Structure 1
Amino acid sequence: MTILAIDTSNYALGVALLEDNQVLGEYITNLKKNHSVRIMPAIQTLMKDCEKVPADLTKIVVAKGPGSYTGVRIGVTIAKTLAWTLNIPLVGISSLEILASGTGRYFDGYISPLFDARRGQVYTGLFQFRDGELVTVEQDQLVMLTDWAEKLKNFSKRILFVGNDLLIHRTKAEEILGQQAVFAALTEHNPRPSELGQLGMYKQGEDVHTFVPNYIRLAEAEAKWLEAKGKI
């Protein structure tokens, strides 16, 4: 089994190649640059370096959101195109789940990955490792950080926060949760595409034609258009 994992759902761009139980290669950047221009060259370079051709691939795994509307759409579009062209399975994984999986495996508590959603809001969820398996405790959601932190006070264990946007919200989380809040190290904030590939390795493929991203909320322009039409 040879898996190509693709994540363009946020500023971090990542691609990885996994074969059976080995990570053949991985490419990550965290730059505010156009993913639509950079993602295919990144895939091509990784494939060439790992001496693989498209026909070698047996599954595509993609980060399906939440995150940047444009970023999520780019990654999903490329993943769907590759899966359809090569006639191989496509699997979508929560962008938040990728962060949780790469950070909290040995943490005795809950993991709350987050992406900034502006105006005090975050995309987040709650996860926990149980017997070596990552379990979703609270589904991906869009919520005010203050409301989320107040909710987390009701959990008995510590909360590990992770994500490149953590600096925006760290002070408020500390004010509300105190010592219950734990913060991941600098090197842990980029989602690892190899973790993405691992998460999707044994999941059943989804229908390429009906597969859709998980934006959680509409893009601002689309929401305004629907509002003007009286549809929301």
Structure 2
Amino acid sequence: MSLILSIETAVSVCSVALHEEKGLVGLLELHQENVHAQKLMPAIKSLLDRAGLESGDLSAVAVSEGPGSYTGLRIGVSTAKGISFAHQIPLIAVGTLDALAFQVVDMVEPGSFVVPMIDARRMEVYSKVFDYGMKEKEGLRPVIIDEDSYATYLEKGKVYFCGDGSRKITEVIDHPNVRFLNVSNSAKSVGDLATEKFIQKDFVDIAYFEPNYLKEFRVLKSKKNPLAL
């Protein structure tokens, strides 16, 4: 029996899940800001304890690879790498936006589109575009939201926006085909996609794998003290 631990820390939610061949075994989520560093490992232990399992029972570890919060991704990936290395089990990387879109695939109708979004700076988001069957129509990229964003898809059918970046759509786009789905990033959908990757042996190299930050992380200097970071 394969047992996969999945980790989602790309956004504010700290989420962990366990999957086996038959599906979800357990899920634990904390919807709190800036708790990943303190709560991730205790959450994993609690989830395993509830299932009567130990980390040595795991067959693989999956992690949301980004884009998203630099700190959140770093903590999630570092933790996943550590567990994978310690138990010599495969590491599986799942795109954060892919996992977000997968949550809504059963909520949309034929002819529509799904646009998962993660909040970036100001009016910018990281997004992808999928059709109703989860076929990728537009790859991962940063988008500055304006009134013409996603106009091509909106003219073709309903467009379902989801994720913490989708609130920016309400500020600038007024179109009858705009729809919103209130779903958050979750380790459950990371694990759902990771299960298929495990079957296909689609693993990443533990030593060289890095999160997809999409943009180079920048350290800003203090305005009060120009000599300090």
Letter matched to residue 96 of structure 1: L
What SS class does the counterpart of residue 36 from structure 1 fall into? helix
Report the equivalent of 2:227.
none
The CA distance in 2 between the partners of 1:160 and 1:129, in whole Å, is 9
CA drift at 1:161:
0.5
Q: CA deviation at 1:96?
A: 1.0
Residues 208-230 of structure 1 show CA distances to partners (whole Å, capped at 9, x for unaligned) of 111111110011218xxxxxxxx
| Amino acid in structure 1 at the alignment position of 2:30 | T
Whether the aligned pair in 2 keeps the contact of 1:104 and 1:128 (CA below 8 Å) is no
2:103 alignment partner, SS class: helix
Of the structure 1 ranges 39-48 and 192-201, higher mean CA displacement relative to structure 2 is found in 192-201
**Unaligned stretches of 5+ in structure 2?**
221-229
Corresponding residue number in structure 2 for 1:199: 193
The yes-or-no answer on 1:128 pairing with 2:122 is no
State whether structure 2 residue 208 is matched by structure 1 residue 213.
no
Give me the whole-angstrom Cα distance separating, in 1, the residues matched to 2:157 and 2:210.
Answer: 34
Displacement of 1:151 in angstroms is 4.5
Partner residue of 1:25? 26
Letter in 2 for 1:68: S
Does the residue aligned with 1:194 lie in a helix, a strand or coil? helix
TM-score, with normalisation over the residues of structure 2? 0.87
Higher helix proportion (structure 1 or 2):
1
- 63-72 or 99-108, larger mean C-alpha shift: 99-108
1:112-123, aligned counterparts within 5 Å? 112-123=115-126
Distance apart, 1:119 and its partner CA: 1.9
TM-superposition CA deviations, 1:125-183 (whole Å, max 9, x none): 112242xxx2222111111012xx6252112121101113433442213x3xx012101
CA gap of 1:129–1:60, structure 2 versus 1, over 3 A, is farther
CA distance in 2: counterparts of 1:128 and 1:59, whole angstroms: 30
Residue pair 2:129, 2:138 contacting (<8 A) in 1 also = yes
Amino acid at match of 2:102: S
Conserved in 2, the CA contact under 8 Å of 1:30 and 1:190? no
Q: 3-state DSSP class of the match of 2:131?
A: strand
CA distance in 1 between counterparts of 2:119 and 2:218 reads 15
Corresponding residue of 1:229: none
> SS state of the match for residue 92, structure 2?
strand
Q: Is residue 104–residue 160 contact of structure 1 (8 Å, CA) maintained in 2?
A: no
> Greater CA deviation, 67-76 or 112-121?
112-121
Give the number of equivalent residue pairs: 212
**Structure 1: gaps (5+ residues):** 223-232
Deviation of residue 192 (structure 1)?
2.3
Counterpart secondary structure, 2:47: helix
> Which consecutive segments of 4 or more residues in structure 1 shift more than 6 A?
none
Please tell me whether the aligned partners of residues 114 and 129 of structure 2 are also in contact (alpha carbons under 8 angstroms): yes
In structure 2, the residue matched to 1:182 is 179
Amino acid at match of 2:35: N
CA distance in 1: counterparts of 2:58 and 2:48, whole angstroms: 10
- Which residue of structure 2 lines up, in the alignment, with residue 225 of structure 1? none
In the other structure, the counterpart of 1:85 is 86
- Root-mean-square deviation (CA, aligned residues, Å) is 1.7
> What one-letter code is carried by the residue in structure 1 that aligns with 2:192?
Q
1:170 corresponds in structure 2 to 170
- The whole-number CA distance in structure 2 between the counterparts of 1:2 and 1:219 is 34
